[in-house]
């Protein structure tokens, strides 16, 4: 935060620094669709009847897109390390900046744990995690007793926590757009 | 509470000791894994799936002169169910099937032993699974008995019985050919 002034100066001289850029925007919205889609699919597929045609397909798609989301998250974290994120909008209060940072950090952390726990369910007996039938990600030889049950509980409860955090994230974005009427949401929609 | 349980236990022990004065007592050799509780259920009517309970304990009393006085008691750790597929085991432990967090134990306590000659017998008893207790009949075959090479005396039986899932309030629909499971008990007891 000490180089705030420097960053703001840069952002004035280079206007595109105010935006997340096309890469950041695309990763963000793809991740958003995947997170909500995977959550809904996960709840739905575990409620299916054994004879439902989706009983086998649902989990296969859930696993495949889960791995896609993991790749997106890894790419996103690397991209954030390599690129400067746009500075907070000047009108944001310090508490808003702090809260936004905490929520973003929480989103990354929850995403990571939810995806890893999902991997640990499917690989608990040494089987590969199948990705759309294209390839398999090998299991780790952890040998934890009842790994699938422990990982399953972590996967479910932290996925619910993740969605609650996403709701907070969305509420923040909508508050900035409709109440404060600032650029927060817009700069995640288009490049300026 | 504890005192009462203790008194009950002592009474039960005294009673069983009294009625089975001549019977030899055997402990099922789960330590050496010379015993197994397996189950077999149809998959779609096309094949059999075998699974087992990895953890259980039990003992029996048997006297060749008086086989009708035989007694068996077995306790199964339901969470130890193993069908060689972690995702399926997780499902089997959930409340769609065994609900093992609520019903961690399944038990069989014999109520009668009807010798049918030729090493065959009908073992009657109460089987408790998923919180439901019902009388069942196990078709038993005496396999053999004698000294073991390490100074002990062993005796083994194998028994099978059919368990209808709905009798034990397990309602998940696996299809019309998969409404009951065959349970196969193979026990080797070490005489005490």
To test the contact with chain B by mutation, choose from A42, A46, A127, A146 the residue with the greatest count of B C-beta atoms within 10 A, namely A146
Distance from CA of B32 to the nearest CA of A (A): 20
| Model confidence at A2: pLDDT above 50 | no
Chain A hits for B174, Cβ within 8 Å:
50
Question: What tens digit of pLDDT does each residue of B55-107 get?
Answer: 999 999 999 888 899 999 999 999 999 999 999 999 999 999 999 999 999 99
Domains observed in chain B:
23-191 (2.40.128.110)
Question: Contacts by A122-126 with C-beta closer than 8 Å and gap 24+?
Answer: A122/A63, A122/B86, A122/B87, A123/B86, A124/A148, A124/A151, A124/B86, A124/B87, A124/B90, A125/B84, A125/B85, A125/B86, A125/B89
**Distances from the Cα of A167 to the Cαs of A34, A154, A171, B110, in angstroms?**
15, 20, 6, 56
C-alpha B159/C-alpha B180 separation (Å) is 16
Structure tokens at A53: 């045609």
Question: Which ipTM was obtained for this model?
Answer: 0.80
Chain B hits for A63, Cβ within 8 Å:
none
Predicted pLDDT of residue A19: 75
Structure tokens at A171: 């509420």
Q: Give residue A28's pLDDT band: very low, low, confident or very high (50, 70, 90).
A: very high
Question: What tens digit of pLDDT does each residue of A36-82 get?
Answer: 999 999 999 999 999 999 999 999 999 999 999 999 999 999 998 88
Average pLDDT over residues B132-161: 96
If 0-12 CB within 10 Å is exposed, 13-18 middle and 19+ buried, where does residue A189 land? middle
Predicted pLDDT of residue B8: 58
**A88-98 core/surface letters (b: 16 or more CB in 10 A; e: else):** beeebeeebee
Distance from CA of B88 to the nearest CA of A (A): 10
Q: Crossing angle, helix A147-174 and helix B86-93, to 10 degrees? A: 80
In chain B, pLDDT over 90 holds for what percent of residues?
Answer: 84
| Model confidence at A108: pLDDT above 80 | yes
A124: nearest Cα among B79, B51, B99, B85: B85
Nearest by CB to residue B86, choosing from A50, A51, A125, is A125
Q: Give residue A21's pLDDT band: very low, low, confident or very high (50, 70, 90).
A: confident
Predicted pLDDT of residue B62: 94
CB spacing of A125 vs B174 below 8 angstroms: no
CB spacing of B86 vs A147 below 8 angstroms: yes
Mean pLDDT of chain B: 91
Q: Is the separation of the CB atoms in A28 and A20 below 8 Å?
A: yes
pTM of the model: 0.82
* Nearest residue in B to A59, CA atom: B87
Average pLDDT over residues A81-108: 91
**B101-129 core/surface letters (b: 16 or more CB in 10 A; e: else):** eebeebbbebeebeeeeeeebebebebbb
| Model confidence at A15: pLDDT above 60 | no
Dihedral (CA of A140, A142, A143, A146) sign: negative
Backbone phi and psi for residue A67, each to the nearest 5 degrees, phi listed first: -70, -40
B170: left (phi over 0), alpha (psi -120 to 50) or beta: beta
CB spacing of A122 vs B84 below 8 angstroms: no
Nearest by CB to residue A149, choosing from B84, B93, B174, is B93
Predicted pLDDT of residue A12: 41
Predicted pLDDT of residue A68: 97
A149 touches chain B (CB under 8 A): yes
| Model confidence at A13: pLDDT above 50 | no
A95 touches chain B (CB under 8 A): no
In chain A, pLDDT over 90 holds for what percent of residues?
Answer: 75
CB spacing of A51 vs B93 below 8 angstroms: no
Question: What tens digit of pLDDT does each residue of A118-132 get?
Answer: 999 999 999 999 999
Predicted pLDDT of residue A5: 46
């Amino acid at each position: 935060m000490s180089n705030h002034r420097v960053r703001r100066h840069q952002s004035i001289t280079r206007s595109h620094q105010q935006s997340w850029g096309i890469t950041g925007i695309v990763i963000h919205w793809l991740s958003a669709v995947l997170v909500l889609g995977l959550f809904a699919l996960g709840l739905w597929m575990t409620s299916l009847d054994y004879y439902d045609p989706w009983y086998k397909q649902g989990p296969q798609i859930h696993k495949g897109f889960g791995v896609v989301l993991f790749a997106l998250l890894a790419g996103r974290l690397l991209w954030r390390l390599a690129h400067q994120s746009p500075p907070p909008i000047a009108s944001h209060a310090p508490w808003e900046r702090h809260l936004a940072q905490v929520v973003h950090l929480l989103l990354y952390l929850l995403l990571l744990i939810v995806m890893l726990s999902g991997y640990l369910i499917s690989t608990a007996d040494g089987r590969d995690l199948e990705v759309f039938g294209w390839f398999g990600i090998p299991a780790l030889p952890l040998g934890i007793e009842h790994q699938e049950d422990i990982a399953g509980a972590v996967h479910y409860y932290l996925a619910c926590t993740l969605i609650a955090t996403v709701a907070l994230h969305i509420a923040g974005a909508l508050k900035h757009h409709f109440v404060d009427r600032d650029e927060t949401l817009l700069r995640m929609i288009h490049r300026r | 509470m504890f005192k009462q349980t203790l008194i009950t236990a002592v009474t039960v022990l005294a009673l069983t000791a009294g009625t089975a004065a001549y019977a030899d007592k055997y402990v099922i050799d789960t330590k050496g894994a010379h015993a197994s509780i397996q189950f077999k259920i149809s998959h779609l009517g096309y094949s059999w799936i075998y699974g087992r309970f990895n953890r259980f304990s039990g003992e029996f009393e048997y006297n060749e002169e008086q086989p009708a006085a035989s007694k068996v008691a077995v306790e199964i750790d339901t969470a130890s169910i193993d069908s060689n597929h972690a995702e399926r085991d997780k499902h089997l432990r959930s409340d769609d099937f065994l609900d093992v967090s609520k019903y961690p134990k399944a038990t069989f306590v014999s109520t009668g032993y009807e010798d049918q000659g030729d090493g065959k017998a009908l073992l009657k008893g109460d089987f408790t699974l998923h919180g439901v207790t019902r009388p069942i009949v196990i078709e038993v075959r005496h396999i053999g008995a004698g000294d073991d090479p390490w100074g002990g005396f062993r005796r083994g039986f194998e028994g099978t019985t059919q368990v209808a899932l709905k009798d034990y309030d397990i309602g998940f629909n696996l299809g019309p050919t998969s409404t009951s499971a065959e349970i196969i008990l193979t026990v080797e007891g070490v005489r005490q």
